[in-house]
Structure formats: structure tokens, C-alpha cells
Amino acid sequence: MLSRVADSLYWMSRYLERAEHTARVINVQLNLMLERGAGSDDEYWARVLNSLGVQMAADEATHAQTLAVSLVRDTAHRASIVSSIIAARENARQVREQISSEMWEQLNRLFHSVRRAHSEAAWDAREFLQSVKEGAHLFQGITDSTMTHGEGWQFIQAGRFLERTVSVSTLVGSFFRERPVASRSIPQSMLQSMKEEGDPEHLEWLGLLRSCTAFEAYCKAYTADLKPERVAEFLVLHPGFPHSIRFSAAALEGAVKEIGGEARSRGKSRLERIAGRLHATLSFGQIDEIMTSGLDAYLDTVLRQCGHVHSALYQTHIAYPIEAALGA
Amino acid sequence: MAGVSSRQAWPAPFEKYELDEAFDEMVDAAGEVRPHYERLYHGVLNLEPGELRRRQQLADLSFLHQGITFTVYGREEGTERIFPNDPLPRILTHSEWSRIERGLAQRITALNLFLKDIYNEGRILSDGVVPREMVYTCKHFRRQMRAFSVRKDVYVSVAGTDLIRMPSGEFVVLEDNVRVPSGVSYMLVSREVTKRIFPRTFRECGVEPIDHYPQALLATLRALAPQGCSDPVIALLTPGVFNSAYFEHAFLARQMGIELVEGRDLVTHDNFVYMRTTAGLRRVDVIYRRIDDDFTDPLAFRADSALGVAGLFNAYRAGNVSLANALGNGVADDKAIYAYVPAIIRYYLREDPVLNNVETFQMSDPGQRRHVLDHLERYVVKAVGESGGYGMLIGPHSTAAEREEFRRRVEADPRNYIAQPTIVLSRAPCLIDGAVQPRHVDLRPYILYGDKITIVPGGLTRVALRKGSLVVNSSQGGGSKDTWVLYRD
């Protein structure tokens, strides 16, 4: 497969995953806002933006709410949902002949619907976010069922799960950074209050889980009793939940191993080692140890390792030096 | 002359069908529907009112969802529009088509011999059949191609020849396209649309298939593989997604199962061409290039080209990679050389041309130039090296200012212009705002030349969708329609 094509498939998938993640997080927060009591809206949105990894200048924090709106539908904002979908579609357009017609049609349909929404006067944010989520899910389902699970599909998988590892780590990390909870020192009062429904803290943990589509799955594992340590364990270390960091890292490793087949050894083993180490770190992690030494720092390591996987993938398959390839 | 119908009012949706001096594809001079159009005519009559329009909207929607669009230049970058497709097919009888087919095969054979000759011995120039300066002053003459035999002497492997039908009903050649002709994907897609809209009529008429075009193209490219290469790796070289024909490049690559590459995917080393893949570099043997000569190789041609591949031309001359079409073909479809094509055919093949040319005036000839400039409002003036309907003046539809502008341009650079009488193209029924109305059409069949000549029956019928307009190019408000060649007359 052409390196350029692999590159486009990888980014198409990353952008779409990013759009879906952003849409889900903002949608959850919009719902929570309805039940919130006092407090500045801007302060609230500043935290949400932070959890999405959006960097804000100091003076921007005062109008975070406006920024949040632009993050949904402003094409001038590069990280916005609309921009991500345009970028995903632009990447797909570059490799139109490599993806199935059904995939292209779905992505194109999603593109046209968000473009329409962008210009419509009567615009319903929640309806819009819902349609982005559904559109992205549909695209993933179509991809998995209409495209050969060959190298191109593995690049799509790699993109999707690398992006998911990064975005969930960023989200969980920022959440715990703002509410430092060491496992052994949760104040009794707080544990108590969390059980009372309608309590702001309770709502926020609920929001975190929902932002990862994890609330129902969490309840099945631990009942509706929301404890920070358990929430962290579920989102970071659960082996079978598709939005957990460990699950994503495992899928990323799996995809990376399948790429390039047997045909190539140059740099391949390094890439596999880096992706394998990321997965292994998470597989053997213990939540109490992680919480003691700091979840925040732990997730920073995960993010750094994701960066390494990305660069190794590029050096091995996409942007390799020609001299090295001719020598082989 | 408008509105002369010898027949009483047509039934809906044909109520606005008016005849004039143009040849009408559906209705004969007596005002009767031609026999080969009968089935389609009744097929349309028998549809519920509004049904035709509904089916057309469905087809449009599917075009949008499939991304069958083209890019319009000179607007915001990447402006895509749905390719306008008219659902009513244009129908040709078997005998009309066989004559066209013979004429096209004859023409491509002669043009190939011509290109080989002018880049090597130059017999036709020494014999004075085509003036030497006409060839050497051609903007598309490539001196780099001198004294180099291309693989199997095939210069033109893919041609798209534009035919028009005179008021007399005769098909004549308007221009040849032997560099990078486009539009064949619209021919294939239009066929899918008519099969969906008129399944019964299609079957009853007995229409020759065209679906084998991609396989035939692949076979043609294979035939050009470098010597000793039995299983060639073939790639289609595109300028990229911002090119107006990108949809077609992707479509053909997919239909043929070959890689669609851009210049940045290819590298040359020791006169071999490689593509950059996830598993390392892979050798490429045949390139179906859809970029212009000038942009193929910054070392040999335009140094500022970012679309091409440095070193490609040397690899080509070394015989390690074949290009289709060959470089330097533009001499053969230069609009001034066009006037000599009948002579070229007689010279190499010792036959009379099956398909005639349109009368053409050379602006480099002082007498002809004076005559045309004195009657500009009657003529179509064209820049010789342009295509796609750019750089053209249609006398009868022009303003005095436009004519003045062209007069200035012609006088400044006469070699660069030719003039032809304004020809009223034939008209075929089209669906316009829910009613069937006649619009001017041309016909572009596609000719493949590898080990043998293959012409899929029919081609792309282009329509000037604006009432009265004679310009069929998609960049100028034209559309396409399917072309049916019947098994029987």
C-alpha cells in the first residue's frame, strides 16, 4: 500500500474519532449544565475545554463558553467538530479509491449534514451532537463490515485507537488533576455526599463515565456506587471495555503488529516493541499503586508513549528515508 | 426559424419540443419520431407525470453521495459541483456507429504514424505535406522526444475524439484529444443511471455494452509494458484531489485495480521508477499519466512543477518505464495541425478519410486571416493549444468588445489561432424542468490503441444544457448523457 494512502487513512480515522469524542463530551456537559446550581458558566466550560486538551490563553478563559460553541461548529477553529469532520472527509477524498463506496458515501453524508447545520439559523446543539455521534458510529460499523480487514483497515484501526488512548487519557487525567483523590484519604464526608443523588460531585463523576459511554458498563461491574478509585480503574485498566485506555492500547498494538505483514523488518520490531510496552504497562498496572504515585503522572507517561508509537509508525511505514529503503 | 413543427402539438411531457434548422436526433424532417427512438419516446410517455423528475432527483442524490463531482477552476479552491447528467439517452443506430468506428480507427492509426514520423525521420515534412514550421512552432512539440522510439511505436494509446453532427446528419470531427482526454468515467456512470431509470426500454432496445472499458484500458496499458516485463506493475499518475478530473482518476484506478499515485509517491533511482509503499519501495513499469507533459518531470520540462517526478523522463527514454500517452502528443491535436489530418490520413494510409473535418481557417495565413477578421461575428475562433472550452470566441454569441479583444489577440499571435464557421450542432431530447426539450449535443467516443484498437460502442454525449447554447464543456455549463448504440438498426 502507498505510504501516502496509509497516512490519509490513519488521519481520516483519527479525525473522526476526535470529532466523536468531542461531540460526546460536550453533549454530556450540556446535559449536566441543566442540573447545575450556581457558579460561573465560563469557569465550568474552561474545565471542559481543558479536559478536551484545548489550550487556552489566559484571557480566553473569561469567555470559555463562547469558545465551547466555536469548538462545536466553527470552521475557523481547527479542533472543532466541524473542522475534524471536514479534515476526515478531505483525507478520505484523497484515498477515495481505497475505501469502500459505502464508507465514502456515509462520510460524505455526514460531511454534508454538518455543513448544513453550520449554516442553519435554527440550530439545535444537542440534536447536532447526537447526529455527529451516530454518524461516526455508523461509519465505523460500515468500515468494519464493508472493507477488507487488510493493511488499510489496520491503519484505520491504529488511528482510531491511538486517538482514543490519547483523548481518554487526557480527559481522565484532567478530571483527576482538578479533584486530587488519593485512594487512602478520601474524606468520609465526601464519600457520604457522593451517594446522594443530585450532589454536584456525584454528577461530575457521572459525567466523566458518560463521556466515555461507560456509565452503564460501570454499573454492571461495580453497581451505581460511584467511587473515584473504581471509576479510574474502570476507565484506565478495564480489559474489555472498548473506551478504556487499556483496551485501546491493546487494539493499537494489535493493529500495529498486522501492518506491513512479513514484507518488512526495517524498524518494524522497534515499532512493535514500543506499542507492546504501552499495552503491557497498562495490562500489569494496579490501580492502588497508580493512585498512590499519582494518576496524573501515570497518564502523562501513557500520553508520551502514544507519541512514541506515532513517530515510530511514521518512521517505519510512511516517512522513511529513501536511502535506507534502497539499501535493503 | 424557431418553432417550426410540421406536426400538431406533442403530448406531455414533450409539449415544449420545438424544432429548428439543427439536425434533431429524435425527430425526422417530416416531424415523425425516428424508428430507433420510438421505444424511448413511448417509454417516457407511459411514465406517470412527475415520475421522470423523481427518478432524476434520485440519480442526482446518488451522484452527490458517491461524490461524482468535478471541480470548477477560477473559484474558491476545491469547489465541487455535481456533474450535471441528463437522464434521457442519446441513441445511435448500428450503421451510424460502424461508420464512426471505422473513421476513428483510421484516424488514430494515422495520427500514431504521424507522431512517429515527425519525431524521427520527418518524411511528411520533407515531402511538404505538412509545413515544417507548423510542427516546430507548435507549443506542444517536445524536442526531448526526438530520435526516441516509444514502446511498440504507440504514441496515442488513449484518445477521445470530439464529433459533431451537421444539419445534414453527417458526423464530422471537431477536434482530436490525444494528450490526456477525460470524461470516460462519466460515460460509465451515465450508463448506470439510464439502466436504473429505464430498465425496460434499455432491454427492449438492445444496447451494446460498454462496461468492459476498464478491462480494455488495462489490457492496452499492459501491452505497453517495457521489453521483458511479463507482469507489469501499472499505476495511474494524477495531479491530485484538486484536479477537475480527480474523480475520474480514482474511479478508473479502482475499476482497473491499479495504484493511484501522485508525483510525491514516486521516486527515481538509476533510471528506474519506484513508488513509496508501507513495505518499502516498489518498481513501477507502466504509468497511465493524467498530468500534462509540462508537469511530468521538473528536470526535463517545467522546473517549477511540483506534480511530477524528477528523473521520470530519463527513465522513460531508457525504456525502463512506459508512459501512456506518450509525451509530445500535443502536436497531433493542435487545432492548426487538425486542418492537415485528412492529408495525413491520405499520406500514410493511402485512403480517403471516413470522417470529414470541419472547414478550418489558419490565422497564420494572411488571406484567410483577413477574411475571418472581417466577418468575426460569423466564426468560432479557437486558441490552438487549449481545451475544455477555454480560450474560445463564438462569433454569433459574442459582444463587440469580446470580438475586439480577440481581433487584438489574433493579430498579436496568428499561429496560435484558427477559425471555423459556426456550426449548429445536432439536438437531442433532454429533461429540462420536468419537460422534454431539445438541446445541442456532441459526441466523444474513446479509442484505445495497444496491441489492437478497441472502441467501446458509444462514448460520452455532452449537452449544452442552457437553451440555445453551443458550448458543451462541463466547465462552461455543459452536462452529459448516456449514449446507446443499438445492436440492430
Instruction: Give the residue extent of every domain in chain B.
Output: 104-155+211-349, 359-421
Rounded CA-CA distance A244/A89 in Å is 27
Instruction: Output A225 or A193, whichever has higher pLDDT.
Output: A225
Instruction: Determine, for residues B259 and A264 on separate chains, whether the beta-carbon distance falls below 8 Å.
Output: no
B194: Cα separation from own chain's centroid:
21
pLDDT for residue B349: 97
- Counting one residue from chain A and one from chain B, the pairs whose CB atoms sit within 8 A come to 70
Domain hosting A216: range is 149-328
Instruction: Determine, for residues A260 and B275 on separate chains, whether the beta-carbon distance falls below 8 Å.
Output: no
Instruction: Output B144 or B66, whichever has higher pLDDT.
Output: B144
Of the candidates B271, B102, B309, B84, which has an alpha carbon nearest to the alpha carbon of residue B186? Answer: B84
List A59's β-bridge partners, or say none: none
Instruction: Output B120 or B67, whichever has higher pLDDT.
Output: B120
Q: Please indicate, yes or no, whether residues A132 and A181 belong to a single structural domain of this protein.
A: no
The set of cell numbers assigned to A253 is 498494538
* Local confidence band at B371 (pLDDT 50, 70, 90 cut-offs): very high
Average pLDDT over residues B70-83: 55
Rounded CA-CA distance B11/B372 in Å is 44
Does residue A109 sit at the B interface (CB-CB below 8 Å)? yes
Q: Please identify, among A96, A130, A147, the residue that sits at the C-terminal boundary of a domain.
A: A147
Average pLDDT over residues B404-420: 91
pLDDT at residue A47 is higher than 90: no
pLDDT at residue A328 is higher than 70: no
Tell me the Cα Rg of chain A: 20
DSSP A233-292: HHHHH-SS-TTSHHHHHHHHHHHHHHTTTTS--TTHHHHHHHHHHHHHHHHT--HHHHHH
Angle B309-B313-B314 from CA coordinates, rounded to 5°: 115
Does residue A325 sit at the B interface (CB-CB below 8 Å)? yes
SS3 category, B48: coil
CATH topology of domain B104-155+211-349: Rossmann fold (3.40.50)
DSSP A6-29: HHHHHHHHHHHHHHHHHHHHHHHH
Instruction: Determine, for residues B64 and A322 on separate chains, whether the beta-carbon distance falls below 8 Å.
Output: no
Phi then psi for A139, rounded to 5 degrees? -60, -40
Shortest distance, CA B388 to any CA of chain A (angstroms): 24
Q: Please indicate, yes or no, whether residues A57 and A33 belong to a single structural domain of this protein.
A: yes
pLDDT for residue B91: 97
Instruction: Determine, for residues B279 and A322 on separate chains, whether the beta-carbon distance falls below 8 Å.
Output: no
Rounded CA-CA distance B78/B241 in Å is 8
* Local confidence band at A200 (pLDDT 50, 70, 90 cut-offs): low
Instruction: Determine, for residues B278 and A2 on separate chains, whether the beta-carbon distance falls below 8 Å.
Output: yes
Instruction: Output A278 or B61, whichever has higher pLDDT.
Output: A278
CATH number of B359-421: 3.30.1490.270
pLDDT at residue B170 is higher than 80: yes
Q: What is the pLDDT of residues B178-219, one digit of tens each?
A: 999 999 998 998 998 899 889 999 999 999 999 999 999 999
pLDDT for residue B122: 95
Minimal-distance CA residue of chain A relative to B277: A2
Phi then psi for B180, rounded to 5 degrees? -130, 75
* Local confidence band at B322 (pLDDT 50, 70, 90 cut-offs): very high
Count of the separate structural domains present in chain A: 2
Q: Is this complex's ipTM strictly greater than 0.95?
A: no
Instruction: Determine, for residues A97 and B254 on separate chains, whether the beta-carbon distance falls below 8 Å.
Output: yes
Q: Please indicate, yes or no, whether residues A322 and A175 belong to a single structural domain of this protein.
A: yes
Shortest distance, CA B80 to any CA of chain A (angstroms): 12
Does residue B76 sit at the A interface (CB-CB below 8 Å)? no
Q: Please indicate, yes or no, whether residues A282 and A251 belong to a single structural domain of this protein.
A: yes
Q: Please identify, among A88, A120, A147, the residue that sits at the C-terminal boundary of a domain.
A: A147
pLDDT for residue B69: 65
pLDDT for residue B1: 40
Phi then psi for B439, rounded to 5 degrees? -140, 155
Q: What is the pLDDT of residues B373-410, one digit of tens each?
A: 999 999 999 988 776 667 788 888 889 999 999 999 99
pLDDT at residue B176 is higher than 60: yes
pLDDT at residue B77 is higher than 50: no
pLDDT for residue B313: 96
Share of chain A above pLDDT 70, in %: 88
Does residue A259 sit at the B interface (CB-CB below 8 Å)? yes
Shortest distance, CA B289 to any CA of chain A (angstroms): 17
Instruction: Determine, for residues A96 and B247 on separate chains, whether the beta-carbon distance falls below 8 Å.
Output: yes
DSSP code at position B330: G
pLDDT for residue B78: 45
What is the overall mean pLDDT for chain A? 86
Reply yes or no: is the peptide bond before residue B325 cis, omega within 30 of 0.
yes
Supply the angle between the helices A151-178 and A295-313 in degrees, to the nearest 10: 160
Q: Please indicate, yes or no, whether residues A197 and A114 belong to a single structural domain of this protein.
A: no
Q: Please indicate, yes or no, whether residues A296 and A266 belong to a single structural domain of this protein.
A: yes
Helices (H), B120-207: 123-126, 132-136, 184-197, 199-205
Q: Please indicate, yes or no, whether residues A184 and A283 belong to a single structural domain of this protein.
A: yes
Q: Kindly state the helix (H) or strand (E) to which residue B455 belongs, with its residue range.
A: strand B453-455
Does residue A323 sit at the B interface (CB-CB below 8 Å)? no
Of A42-51, A102-111, B266-275, B469-478, least confident by mean pLDDT is B469-478
Half-sphere exposure of A122 (CA within 13 A, CB side): 0
Instruction: Determine, for residues A263 and B262 on separate chains, whether the beta-carbon distance falls below 8 Å.
Output: no
Q: Please identify, among A127, A147, A167, the residue that sits at the C-terminal boundary of a domain.
A: A147
pLDDT at residue A79 is higher than 90: no
Q: Please indicate, yes or no, whether residues A136 and A158 belong to a single structural domain of this protein.
A: no
pLDDT at residue A186 is higher than 70: no
The set of cell numbers assigned to A79 is 479542533
Q: pTM higher than 0.95, yes or no? A: no
Does residue B270 sit at the A interface (CB-CB below 8 Å)? no
Average pLDDT over residues B258-279: 94
Average pLDDT over residues A248-274: 84
Does residue A116 sit at the B interface (CB-CB below 8 Å)? no
Query: Which residues of chain B does A318 touch, with a Cβ-Cβ cutoff of 8 Å?
Result: 278
Shortest distance, CA A297 to any CA of chain B (angstroms): 34
pLDDT for residue B8: 64
Reply yes or no: is the peptide bond before residue B13 cis, omega within 30 of 0.
yes
Shortest distance, CA A108 to any CA of chain B (angstroms): 6
Average pLDDT over residues B417-434: 91
* Local confidence band at A76 (pLDDT 50, 70, 90 cut-offs): confident
Rounded CA-CA distance A318/A4 in Å is 7
Shortest distance, CA B89 to any CA of chain A (angstroms): 25
pLDDT at residue A23 is higher than 60: yes
Rounded CA-CA distance B357/B339 in Å is 7
Average pLDDT over residues B316-330: 96
* Local confidence band at B264 (pLDDT 50, 70, 90 cut-offs): very high
Does residue B241 sit at the A interface (CB-CB below 8 Å)? yes
- Burial (CB < 10 A; 0-12, 13-18, 19+), residue A285, is middle
What is the overall mean pLDDT for chain B? 90
pLDDT at residue B59 is higher than 70: yes
Rounded CA-CA distance A31/A14 in Å is 26
